[in-house]
Structure 1
């Protein structure tokens, strides 16, 4: 079967293209620009388009399927040609469902934690040599691609994103998977450009819950009020399994978890990560992994890429990089670092980078998010606000939104870098939270700074 990708360079799209090529499909694709690491990975496999741009002539009647990425627009020339030819057009999640409709589908949803939980599950299964198909939103240690598809594996583990499926399919991705086993980790308003009200956003998780197959299993975080309401009020014929924060202690910067065999040290830390682990444990047990086997494997889990990732450390300083940008993630991550390093100064630096976080109306959701940090810095680019065609936000608005008088605010990348590298970081835990790079911060320079 020949498959053509419109917008092949995306993080998820290029991984799916590689996975399908490995499965034996003939793959072609286009994009108007492709960045690293997608570019090198596609080139290595002979999948990098010869020229950037859209070329309707690539589409012909012998194309078995077209997969449309979110980066493409509704009037994309290749999309219009595909429609004209009557070709079958799939969104990314639609095609994943097609590839897994005869398997047991395990879908991990939630406003936060889904990448980490999916990563934990795959780590445990990989540790015990259990082969499964999967799609996860981060590059994992020990896994070549973020997507893996076979004919023979029984399970398909999917990270269930609530964002839209494609420019012509405006349903959230996780509505399309029809899970046999599912999990919801937490609900905190996000993607306000798509879900303008909190109620509208929460509704997507109710639809997800009701999309489970009859008799399906829903694992849910009962410590999250919204999740508890959504799942426990569902009248669908499903089985419900609640989880919460497991018993644990922190000793000299290491978290120990209570297990049937006594205390066990973990590589990960933070209340949110312990909840993530409890959810992952339930899922693994429903997939046939025993409790003892789970604990043996999870003790070696170091975390998902860019999720409380330790990028530098010496005797008195530790630096973490985290993808956190939404209010609930920022608060959970900052709290986790302060709990783990209670005796140290916590310097938390947050870049407001996404559409939601730069929205003047949404800013108030950040109130208290950085309160557990000893020093708090917010960086944002007025240019990014301009590009996203948003109402201008001022430093005063940001300070007021976070409700923290000593909040330090930078809009100039160089001034932020100068501040960071001028600090005495002895006995300090530094937390760099962003889905960007603070206007060009070289994270390797941060590592060198500590040497």
Structure 2
């Protein structure tokens, strides 16, 4: 008997696979933008990009993935009608020729936060906001979730230990953890990034006036957090530092459909230069980080993890292995009688808390603390008085700034006496040459003395690891 041959009408219909997204990233060389490009390519999208300058490590990472633009600069011809969308980074200008071409073609144009929201519409979104602590809180949550092999996506503003990218976007993960920056979304969208993520669970870790070039008054800056708090949806959760006076002004529990959770520093003890968390069962949990900000960060992360179903004992088991977020009170070198830490600190409140924390952790040792003024706000004469008495904890206080950065940011010159007066510390040492700063630090007495280096920059390329080794000896 001859087998019958199936007819075309008998066969199941063939479903065409959806075409991959074709995405063009303007200003792809930025820290978060090049990570987004890598994450999109990993997800299967066809990705192109452009930028007028691309530095390391973005250049090498993009090249390794086959995503490095063939040449630097802008070219409107790169923007074609067949693109799914264009994603524009904050580094681009409103008159960027590629952006203008995308607008002319009527293409969908996203800022970074708009695209992250679009990619996570069907996920539970946890957004960590605050003037300080948001990277560390985000890193803590990611560490705990990964410790228990929980699936999640994320977008964080720093390279974290153990994570090869700063962005991960998958189809499968039911949740996404987002570091909610309050800075502007794009050159054509002046809304703060964290307003666009539409959180289900929101965190406000603290409010300390920053970004004076965008938010000219403290009230205007604080208002952005009030808007974020008020965006918490029905059945949503808002977790906030209940000791921060500025936070208290914007997190008034005025919505009966929202769950408000306040937190403070985790109960702890310090013994022999080591911090231990004290649980409700009076158990001691040794941790690798320290200081009041980190203790508050741990409390915030614990409350978020509780909302995600992580039990207290499981949280503590994971947090015991947390090494800290890169560049956030990061140990560079340790010796018998001295340690060297660096911290991504520039805001007055963070400066005060970090220097006081290191002094409290090692009360028998001298503390030499060195701050680089690097951001627009920190170098602005109108903002400098915010630093009054924020640098009182160190035994020796040092401030460095590069006059060329002032010129680049179109700010008026600063005199050393003007800086010392702003800090309200007459013995403040001020340097404007990084070589002289290095020579001074190398010549200090380091027995029973710790060094704290604080900056959102690089001290103009100083080899901080080599310096730390010389200090510890």
**TM-score range for the pair, normalised by the shorter chain length:** over 0.9
Q: Indicate conservation of the 8 Å contact 2:239/2:303, yes or no.
A: yes
The answer as to 2:381 corresponding to 1:360 is yes
Q: Which residue of 1 aligns with 2:23?
A: 3
Aligned-partner SS, 1:357? helix
Which structure 2 residues correspond to residues 373-412 of structure 1 after superposition, within 5 A?
A: 373-412=394-433
Q: Indicate conservation of the 8 Å contact 2:253/2:260, yes or no.
A: no
Give the counterpart of 1:311 among 325, 332, 336: 332
Structure 1 residue 233: Cα displacement: 5.2
Structure 1 residue 263: Cα displacement: 1.1
Which structure 2 residues correspond to residues 148-297 of structure 1 after superposition, within 5 A?
A: 148-232=168-252, 234-235=254-255, 237-259=257-279, 260=281, 262-297=283-318
Q: Which residue of 2 aligns with 1:139?
A: 159
Structure 1 residue 141: Cα displacement: 1.6
Q: Indicate conservation of the 8 Å contact 1:209/1:234, yes or no.
A: no
Structure 1 residue 261: Cα displacement: 5.6
Q: Indicate conservation of the 8 Å contact 1:132/1:154, yes or no.
A: yes
Give the counterpart of 1:344 among 365, 381, 394: 365
CA change 1:194–1:233 in 2 (3 A) is farther
Q: Indicate conservation of the 8 Å contact 1:268/1:303, yes or no.
A: yes
Q: With structure 1 as the length reference, what TM-score do the two structures score?
A: 0.98
Aligned-partner SS, 2:225? helix
The answer as to 2:317 corresponding to 1:301 is no
Size of the aligned set, in residue pairs, is 451
Q: Indicate conservation of the 8 Å contact 1:30/1:54, yes or no.
A: yes
Q: CA RMSD in A?
A: 1.0
* Unmatched runs of 5 consecutive residues or more in structure 2: 1-20
Aligned-partner SS, 1:356? helix
Measured in 2, the distance between the counterparts of 1:3 and 1:253 equals: 50
Aligned-partner SS, 2:378? coil
Measured in 2, the distance between the counterparts of 1:448 and 1:217 equals: 45
Which string of whole-angstrom CA distances, capped at 9 and with x for unpartnered residues, describes residues 330-370 of structure 1?
A: 11111111111111111000000000000001000001111
Measured in 1, the distance between the counterparts of 2:453 and 2:52 equals: 31
Give the counterpart of 1:72 among 74, 79, 92: 92
Measured in 1, the distance between the counterparts of 2:193 and 2:443 equals: 44
Q: Which residue of 2 aligns with 1:122?
A: 142
Q: With structure 2 as the length reference, what TM-score do the two structures score?
A: 0.94
Measured in 2, the distance between the counterparts of 1:71 and 1:15 equals: 15
The answer as to 2:76 corresponding to 1:32 is no
Aligned-partner SS, 2:198? coil
Measured in 2, the distance between the counterparts of 1:57 and 1:448 equals: 50
Which range moves more in the overlay, 401-410 or 434-443?
434-443
* Unmatched runs of 5 consecutive residues or more in structure 1: none
Structure 1 residue 215: Cα displacement: 1.7
Q: Indicate conservation of the 8 Å contact 1:312/1:446, yes or no.
A: no
Q: Indicate conservation of the 8 Å contact 1:14/1:42, yes or no.
A: yes
Measured in 1, the distance between the counterparts of 2:394 and 2:205 equals: 24
Measured in 1, the distance between the counterparts of 2:256 and 2:171 equals: 30
